[in-house]
Amino acid sequence: QNCIHLVSRCSKCLLCPAELSSTLMEKMQAQEMMSGLRIPEMEDLGQFFRSLPTSTLVGIGALTAVLAYWLATRPRPIKPPCSLLHQSEEVPSGGRRSMMCDSSQLLTHYHDDAKTMYEVFQRGLHISGDGPCLGSRLPNQPYKWISYKEVTARAEHLGSGLLHQGCLPNPSQFIGVFAQNRPEWIISELACYTYSMVVVPLYDTLGPDAIRFIINTADISTVICDKVDKAQVLLDNVERKETPGLRRIILMDAFDSALVEHGKCCGVHVQAMQEVEVRCDGNKMNERKGLLLPPVPDDLSIVCFTSGTTGNPKGVMLTHGNVVADFSGFLKVTDKVIFPNQDDCLISFLPLAHMFERLIESVVYCHGGRIGFYQGDIRLLPDDMKALRPTIFPVVPRLLNRMYDKIFSQANSPLKRWLLNFAAKRKGAEVSSGIIRSDSIWDKIFFSKIQASLGGRLRMIITGAAPTSPSVLGFLRAALGCQVYEAYGQTECTAGCTFTTPGDWTQGHVGAPLPCNLIRLVDVSEKNYFASKGEGEVCVKGPNVFKGYLKDPERTAETLDSDGWLHTGDIGKWLPNGTLKIIDRKKHIFKLAQGEYISPEKIENIYIRSEPVAQLYVHGDSLQSCLVGIVVPDPEVMPEWAKKKGMLGTYKDLCKNTELKKAILEDLVRLGKASGLHSFEQVKNIYIHNEMFSIENGLLTPTLKAKRPELKEFFKAKIDQLYSSITM
């Protein structure tokens, strides 16, 4: 049976002669076809190219060169330092931390040779090779520069002169600095750090009462100020026995003998800053050189008094370690894409009395860069920008809004506006993919003049201090051709606690936690915000968090809990990608007559998106059942907006126009509905005011926040009229 089976199987394999011949032919044809598929040899290629006409060869060469150039120069997206889908992570102790932390420890410093603000400047001196450091200019003149060595020498001389007059080289010695941004401000600050003294900034927008309060609270005996009129104010206070501890005023500007005599009558020694520096001649300086007493990280560096909206200012105590930790967090996030270096130049116009400006300047010093100061007049800032050509530009949202409005006000026809929006969308698509550049076709046609007006060299813009409109931020990221970052924080955490992750150019959030701090959200039950739902009051903990308020344990305990968490008073929400969104404010909450809680700042942040609106104040109280508002239209935008609706006239005339008032109110209500406001959260009546809220008229704090009690008092009569005309 096995044999039969084998024969049967073999018989199935046997082919007839015709079938065998056909199979062999197919195999031969297949082999010929396969041999024809071989790739050409180099000789074949050479023969092919030799057969081509010269013009064709030139064309191929040109095309190859263009392709190679495009491959080498094509725009590449910025590589994010972490996954943009996962920018922070939860920690066992509570809260979230940055994904850029190298270890379980929070970042305290970035450079081993820069752990205090004194060392930060010394590092810049070493890196710069005595390059230019501080620059200033006169009208229509170029910038003149002081080198790092000159700044260091002058600071040592000034500090030594202060000691010679009785100041003590330790962190209990507070020195007031009462001046606008200028090189002498930084020299005075560094003089204090050279001998472990503490800087206390003063600024006139605080108001005379606050300045007296600060001098007395901080026991300031010496104030360095810039102008004669400020010295006169200080002397008047002493003369009225309101600041009896003030003993010395050192002036940056020239003054006459009458001021000296006035000082003598009050028991105050008035002298020139240059005089204090010069008194330390070479011999004395050499003696003092060995007595330099730089600080350690835990030493107090600055007491920064925050204005607040009510009550006396609070003195935020920050150590050298606090400041270094905060700017190190910024460096850690941006170092792979910004690479700060000695070619960087920053324009200084935001008040040096605020930590946001001083923090960014510290980054520049640390890497040997330059600081150029504006002339002191904000109207001349564009001229200063063109002369200085900065690479780094710290700003506040209010300035970005003005830039945005100015750009669109020039697009004064429907076609121009359409083209501008079209170009911004096309460029915005690149930004969304991570590409930041200033040489696209859209830049050449539309945006190059805008960029040139800011000096033409900007690499980075940082905005903070208040929320930035998403539409403004998105447009400017496209138009300015540089990296635009948004930060969030407050003086109590030195400056920032969150920051945009490089490569994440989306809007509507304030970034992820900095590597120097943790952030957690805690319940605010009275407003239905719960941490379990990813919402609550923003709390910060880390080496950048302040040590407390000067001589104010009660308010310190209200803000800084026993576990070291700083309670900011802001309401935040975690987004799925680990970034933080600020959605509300815990303070300034009130009840309407029917018992509904109202957060006016949340409503204002929605209404401010209205195109014709520049500023507004939403008001309500427990005796009323609805809200009213004070609206200040934008002088550059509103007239054109009104014209489209058939209303003509000057800005002031339009502000009195009842039809315009009705149109703006309708636009506010429309925005409120789109954002999900309840009916009781919508304003029922508004008054159109034709003068901007400002620091000068007392309606804004120096950080440009609304002073709600002052606004309420200022518009009391108008508010009463608004309520009386409402029919419910």
Q: What gap in Å lies between CA 172 and CA 195, rounded to an integer?
A: 11
Quick one: three-class SS letters along 702-725? CCCCECHHHHHHHCHHHHHHHHHC
- On whether residue 60 sits in a domain, the answer given is no
Q: What gap in Å lies between CA 58 and CA 148, rounded to an integer?
A: 55
Which of 275, 295, 315 corresponds to the end of one domain? 295
- On whether residue 314 sits in a domain, the answer given is no
Q: What gap in Å lies between CA 78 and CA 459, rounded to an integer?
A: 13
Q: Which residue has the tokens 């002081």?
A: 146
Q: What gap in Å lies between CA 189 and CA 361, rounded to an integer?
A: 13
What is the per-residue DSSP string for 69-119?
Answer: HHHHHS--PPPPSS-TT--EEE-TTSSEEETT-SSSSPP--SSTT-SSHHH
- On whether residue 681 sits in a domain, the answer given is yes
User: Cβ contacts of residue 24 below 8 Å, gap of 6+?
Assistant: none
Q: Minimal CA–CA distance to 518: which of 301, 298, 325?
A: 325
Q: What is the structure's pLDDT at 4?
A: 41
Q: What is the structure's pLDDT at 32?
A: 53
Identity at 567, one-letter amino acid code: H
- On whether residue 551 sits in a domain, the answer given is no
Q: What gap in Å lies between CA 117 and CA 494, rounded to an integer?
A: 13
Q: What is the structure's pLDDT at 64?
A: 79
User: Cβ contacts of residue 632 below 8 Å, gap of 6+?
Assistant: 613, 614, 615, 616, 688, 689, 690, 691, 692, 693
Q: Cβ distance 406 to 391 under 8 Å?
A: no
Which of 266, 295, 324 corresponds to the end of one domain? 295
CATH number for position 224: 3.40.50.12780
- On whether residue 700 sits in a domain, the answer given is yes
Q: What is the structure's pLDDT at 285?
A: 52
- On whether residue 188 sits in a domain, the answer given is yes
For the CA atoms of 42, 46, 51, 55, the dihedral, rounded to the nearest 10 degrees, stands at: 130
Domain that holds residue 180: 117-295
Cβ density class 178-194: b for 16+ within 10 Å, e for less: bbbbbbbbbbbbbbbbb
Cβ density class 411-420: b for 16+ within 10 Å, e for less: beeeeeeeeb
Q: What is the structure's pLDDT at 332?
A: 95
Q: What gap in Å lies between CA 135 and CA 388, rounded to an integer?
A: 9
Q: What gap in Å lies between CA 111 and CA 117, rounded to an integer?
A: 12
Q: What gap in Å lies between CA 468 and CA 461, rounded to an integer?
A: 13
Long-range CB pairs of 651-660 (<8 Å, 24+ gap) are: 651/690, 652/690, 655/688, 655/689, 655/690, 656/688, 660/688
Long-range CB pairs of 249-254 (<8 Å, 24+ gap) are: 249/222, 249/223, 249/225, 250/222, 250/223, 250/224, 250/225, 250/276, 251/225, 251/226, 251/227, 252/179, 252/182, 252/184, 252/224, 252/225, 252/226, 252/227, 253/226, 253/227, 253/228
Q: Cβ distance 246 to 215 under 8 Å?
A: yes
Q: Cβ distance 317 to 300 under 8 Å?
A: yes
Profile the chain (728 residues) by mean pLDDT over runs of 10 residues. Answer: 42 43 51 51 63 78 72 74 94 90 91 97 95 96 97 96 94 97 98 98 84 96 96 95 96 95 95 89 53 94 81 92 97 90 95 92 96 93 96 89 83 86 91 89 90 94 82 90 93 96 92 97 88 95 97 95 94 96 82 78 90 94 88 93 92 94 96 90 95 90 81 93 85
Order of strands, sheet of 535-541, starting from the edge strand that comes earlier in the sequence? 88-90, 96-98, 518-522, 535-541, 566-574, 580-585
Q: Cβ distance 592 to 622 under 8 Å?
A: yes
Cα–Cα distance list, 439 to 33, 435, 481 (Å): 52, 11, 8
- Which helix (H) or strand (E) element contains residue 175? strand 174-178
Q: Cβ distance 220 to 200 under 8 Å?
A: yes
What is the per-residue DSSP string for 179-235?
Answer: --SSHHHHHHHHHHHHTT-EEEEE-GGG-HHHHHHHHHHTT--EEEES-HHHHHHHH
If one counts the domains in the chain, the total is: 2
Cα atoms found within 13 Å of the Cα of residue 712, Cβ hemisphere only: 11
* Cα–Cα–Cα angle for 532, 533, 537, rounded to 5 degrees: 80
CATH number for position 685: 3.30.300.30
Cα atoms found within 13 Å of the Cα of residue 162, Cβ hemisphere only: 34
- On whether residue 388 sits in a domain, the answer given is no
Cα–Cα distance list, 430 to 84, 426, 436 (Å): 17, 7, 7
CB neighbourhood size of 176 (10 A): 26
User: Phi-psi region for residue 649, left (φ > 0), alpha (ψ -120 to 50) or beta?
Assistant: left
Q: What is the structure's pLDDT at 408?
A: 84
Long-range CB pairs of 15-19 (<8 Å, 24+ gap) are: none
Q: What is the structure's pLDDT at 8?
A: 43
- On whether residue 241 sits in a domain, the answer given is yes
* Residue 305, token pair as written in the block: 């008094």
- What ranges make up the beta strands (E) of 634-700? 683-688
* Cα–Cα–Cα angle for 117, 98, 92, rounded to 5 degrees: 115
Q: Cβ distance 568 to 540 under 8 Å?
A: yes
Which of 269, 295, 321 corresponds to the end of one domain? 295
In eight-state DSSP terms, residue 437 is: -
Q: What gap in Å lies between CA 579 and CA 535, rounded to an integer?
A: 12
- Which helix (H) or strand (E) element contains residue 125? helix 117-128
In eight-state DSSP terms, residue 323 is: H
Identity at 329, one-letter amino acid code: G
Cα–Cα distance list, 199 to 176, 240, 252, 528 (Å): 6, 25, 16, 42
Q: What gap in Å lies between CA 204 and CA 696, rounded to an integer?
A: 10
What is the per-residue DSSP string for 326-382?
Answer: HHHHHHHHHHHHH---TT-EEEE-S-TTSHHHHHHHHHHHHTT-EEEE--S-GGGHH
- The per-type count for the chain, helices as H runs and strands as E runs, is 27, 27
Q: What gap in Å lies between CA 393 and CA 390, rounded to an integer?
A: 7
* Residue 151, token pair as written in the block: 């700044």
